[in-house]
A = this chain, B = another copy of it.
Amino acid sequence: MNTAQTSEIPHFPIYVGGEFKTTEQPVKIISSYSNLCVFQTCLGGQAEFEQAVQAACAVQTTMRDLPIFQRAQILMKIADLLRSEREKMGLIISLEASKPLKTALAEVDRSIQTFIISAEECKRLPGEVMSIDWIEAGANKDAIVKYFPVGVVAGIAPFNFPLNLVSHKVAPAIAAGCPIILKPASKTPIASLFLAQLIDQTSLPKGAFSVLPMNRKTGNQLVTDPRLNLLSFTGSPDIGWEMKKNAGKKKVILELGGNAGLIVEQDANIERAASKAVTGAFAYAGQTCIHTQRIYVHNDCFNKFLDLFKQGLSTLKIGAPEDPETDFSAMIDEKNAMRIEAWVNEAVSAGAEVIAGGTRKGNIYSPTILTNTRQEMKVCSLEAFAPIVIIEKFTNFKQTISAINDSDFGLQTGIFTHDNRKIHYAFQNLDVGGIIINDVPTFRADHMPYGGVKDSGLGREGPKYAIHDMLEAKVLVTDHTDCL
């Protein structure tokens, strides 16, 4: 892709009610690595928002009645098209998000999985046959419960996984039989607009999927418009919780951030732990919800771990995102790079020590290790969303569990140990959505229930769980007193 001249920069129209459109509010997507414009698109305005909502409402009954085999065919077809366009989609993600190409391709592969899983799950929508005659008033009656689409879904996606976190809203919605209107992240809308081009080739009823970048004011109607029945938001905590307040009668699903912890016990495989932890800390410059931010290493293996970790860090290849060899590249924008720089400096002023990194070159913040931190420092207590990691010693397992719980967030925690007592204690006592034994908290399989407690969110994603939230139970009780 040559990005030298505007006329040659690829332009992606928005997708509204089944039509590709270009509005008079052009948007340029600038690479945070190269500072070049890499893509062009435009914003949807009030008219486009209204068209999308009306199309979604109009297609609701069609979607509800769409036979399962057609839903599954559509979802599998999207997966097939993504497979065909894997390289192109990977490059798009890489360029718009400054994500190393190999990481971007892995995201495409995960998105394919997300569509396949949703295709399979739509065949297995919940349903119950229940005995209603537990009581005399129920004698001669039987009952079943079926689950029907909740209505129109509003999806709002973050910049960091421009394809897969969009897929985690779109695929379940199609599976559940819900039309969906998606607002992509303003910095990375292109992957979802390209996805729209693929979806448009399937037999998904037009209007069942719209994707349009919008300014905040227009987009906020996804939260407030009463014609939309469920809001699924992935993004930053403050914005998410404010949306919950303003969402009216809608169901609200929030996937927000965290400051994930990792514990490495003395009985662990230290080599493996260190190697996994480097990836957990620095993949996509730490810009993932389950970025490994806080590592607690048992005193007896601290030095060994730290040496191995530093060694691992030193092998990371820093470079242009689209270079297939690159492991590490620019952050999403300078504002964030400067933010993390300030947090680190603040921590250092307060006594923290920088073991590696700690420098910024434009949008690139170097992979950074901190130690001697305290819980109240921003680098510990807030979501860093940046390539920094805290590594601290510990001796008491239970206190370390408390330290991890001493946070407003509760997404995932990793623990390296083989001691079943510790595993049990952690499972009982950690206030998080997921615990990963012998791997980093950054592990996610797309079919598992994923989401956090406390400020980290409300509800769980993963197609089976997301689909369930997009459905509404309806019970059918039948009295057979007048039988043959």
Which residues of A does B touch, CB under 8 Å?
64-65, 67-69, 72, 113, 117, 120, 123-125, 127-141, 143-146, 241, 244-246, 248-249, 251, 269, 272, 397-398, 417-425, 427-428, 430, 432-439, 443, 445-451, 453-455, 458, 460, 465, 472-484
Contact = CB atoms under 8 A, between A and B. Distances in A.
A433 B453 CA distance: 28
A74 to B, nearest CB: 14
Nearest to A125: B131
Given A129-B127, A272-B481, A436-B479, A134 B421 contact: no
Contact of A484 (B117, B397, B451, B478): B397
14 contacts: A69-B138, A72-B134, A120-B123, A127-B131, A129-B144, A135-B446, A144-B144, A397-B484, A398-B484, A419-B420, A420-B437, A420-B478, A421-B480, A425-B484
How many chain copies does the complex carry? 4
Nearest to A451: B473
A433 B120 contact: no
A144 B433 CA distance: 12
A78 B125 CA distance: 26
Contacts of A475: 433-435, 448-450
A272 B65 contact: no
Contacts of A478: 420, 423-424, 437-438
B133 A272 contact: no
A479 B439 contact: yes
Given A272-B482, A420-B420, 20 more contacts: A64-B428, A67-B140, A69-B133, A69-B135, A120-B120, A128-B129, A129-B146, A135-B446, A245-B248, A269-B482, A419-B419, A420-B437, A422-B484, A434-B477, A435-B475, A437-B479, A438-B481, A439-B479, A449-B473, A451-B473
Contacts of A434: 474-477
A118 to B, nearest CB: 12
A146 to B, nearest CB: 6
Given A120-B123, A128-B127, A129-B127, A427 B134 contact: no
Mostly helix, strand, loop or mixed at chain A's interface?
mixed
A128 B128 CA distance: 6
Contacts of A241: 248-249
A480 B446 CA distance: 20
Given A244-B249, A418-B421, A475-B435, A133 B458 contact: no
B483 A69 contact: no
Contacts of A454: 249
A483 B474 CA distance: 20
Given A445-B132, A455-B249, A477 B439 contact: yes
Contacts of A134: 68-69, 72, 113, 117, 123, 445, 447
A478 B476 CA distance: 15
A479 B438 contact: yes
Nearest to A423: B420
A131 B67 CA distance: 9
A16 to B, nearest CB: 27
A424 B478 CA distance: 10
A30 B383 CA distance: 55
A268 to B, nearest CB: 8
A131 B437 CA distance: 15
A450 B453 CA distance: 26
Contacts of A435: 474-477
A428 B148 CA distance: 8
A438 B140 CA distance: 11
Residue with the greatest number of chain B CB neighbours at <10 A, chosen from A419, A436, A474: A474
Contacts of A447: 123, 130, 134
A141 to B, nearest CB: 7
B484 A421 contact: yes
Contacts of A144: 129, 144
Contacts of A455: 249
Contacts of A476: 423, 427, 434-435, 437
A143 B448 contact: yes
A110 to B, nearest CB: 8
A445 B135 contact: yes
